Amino acid sequence: MDDDLPDLIFSATPGAQSREARALRRDAAAGRLVRVRRGVYVPTEGWARLKPWRRHVVRVRAAASALAADCVVSHGSAVAVHGLPSVQGDPRRVHVIDRRRASTQTTPALVKHAAGLEDDEVERVGDLLVTSELRTAYDVARSSGFDDGVLCLDGVMRRRLLVAGRLPSVDEMRARVDDLRDEFRLRFGAMAGRTVGRRGELALERAMSFATPLSENGGESLVRVVLHRLGAPQPILQEEFFDARGFVGRCDFFFAEFGLVLEFDGFGKYSDPRMLAGSSPAEVVRREKKREARLLGTGRVRRIERCDIDDVLDPRRLAAIVRRGGVPLRSGRASASWS
C-alpha cells in the first residue's frame, strides 16, 4: 500500500542546534526537502508526486514514530490510511486515540482523543495501528461534519458489500441498504455506550440516514450531498437502461420525473490508464456519444448533463447544470423528503 510513499528522514541527533538538524533545515530551505513535522523530512520530489490524502499518510507515519504504543491512528487520519473518501485532503493535524488519556489534547500538529477501543475496533495497516473502518466512520460522522460523515459511511458500506473484489448487482445493493444501516446502527450503539458524552450523536444519525453504498465513489457521494443541500428532488442512483439491443448503461443520477440523467466525470475518466483500459481518450469520448444516443433513444431520457469535481465544489455551477436539465430547486433549502 505504501510503495509510493517517500522515505522519512529523521534528525537522529537530539537538539534543534545539532549539526545534523541544521543541515536538514538548510536542505529544506533550498527546496530539496519538505518538513512534515519537527525533526522529520521527506525528499521534495517524492512529496510533490503525492495526492493530498497520501501526503497526510506521510504526516501520520511521521507522527506515529514518536507516539506511545497505546495510541491508535483515528478520525480523519484513519480515513487517509484506509484510503476512504474525504473532503479534507491533507489536514495538518494528525488524529489519534490515546487510550491512556481522560481528556482530549490538541496541539498545532496532533490531536490526541480520549476514548476506549475494543479489540475489533483496532487493526494494523502496514506498520500502523489504526481504528477499523467501521470505528473510523463512527468517529468521523460524529465529529467532522455531514459531508465527510456521508462520504466515509458510503465508502465503508461499499467495502462491506465487496465479495472477491466485486460489488453485487444494483438490485441486491438496494435491497441490502436498510440491513446495512441497521447493522451499522447496532454497532454504533455499542460504541456510543463506551463514549464519554453525547456530542455528535445527532450528526451521526443524520449521516447514517443519508448514507448508501450506491454512490460508486467519493465524488458521487459529494454530488449527492450538494444536490440535497441545493434542494433538488431525490434522484434514482445507478439506474439501468435498456433498449431493443439490450443493456445500454447504468447512470449515476436519474431524475425520472424530468427525464434528466446527470453523470459525474472524475478526473481519471479520460486520463487514468487503468480507467482507459487501453483506449485513447478520443475513443472513450466516441463510446460516450454512442451511449448517450442510445440512452436518449430509450424514451425515458430527455436530456443528459455532466458535472465534475469543480462543479461540485462550486454549488452555483452544479445548480446551473441541474436547472439547465429542467430540474427545479427549492431555493437552496435541503429537501426533507430524501432518505
C-alpha cell at 223: 454530488
Taking residue 32's Cβ as centre, other Cβ atoms within 10 Å add up to 13
Q: Report whether pLDDT(337) > 80.
A: no
Confidence at 62, pLDDT banded by 50, 70, 90: very high
Kindly state the percentage of the chain with pLDDT values over 90.
71
pLDDT, position 68: 87
C-alpha cell at 63: 507522527
pLDDT, position 278: 57
| Cα 28 from Cα 18, distance rounded (Å) | 15
Q: Report whether pLDDT(104) > 80.
A: yes
pLDDT, position 277: 53
274 against 288, higher pLDDT: 288
Which whole number is the average pLDDT over 11-28? 74
C-alpha cell at 49: 508526486
Summarize pLDDT for 155-186 with one digit per residue, the tens: 999 999 988 788 889 999 999 999 999 999 99
Domains of the chain: 1-50 (no CATH), 63-210 (no CATH), 218-324 (3.40.960)
The DSSP result for 178-198, as a single string, is: HHHHHHHHHHHHHHHHTSSS-
| Cα 101 from Cα 236, distance rounded (Å) | 45
Taking residue 285's Cβ as centre, other Cβ atoms within 10 Å add up to 12
pLDDT, position 269: 55
Q: 237: exposed, middle or buried (C-beta count within 10 Å: 0-12, 13-18, 19+)? A: buried
Q: Report whether pLDDT(153) > 90.
A: yes
pLDDT, position 176: 92
Nearest partner of 248 among 300, 213, 291, 216, judged by Cα: 291
Amino acid at 242: F
| Cα 151 from Cα 65, distance rounded (Å) | 29
Nearest partner of 151 among 80, 61, 232, 230, judged by Cα: 80
CA gyration radius, the chain: 23
Q: Report whether pLDDT(51) > 70.
A: yes
pTM: 0.88
Chain centre distance of CA 50: 16
Q: Are 253 and 262 in contact (CB under 8 A)?
A: yes
| DSSP-derived secondary structure letter, 166 | B
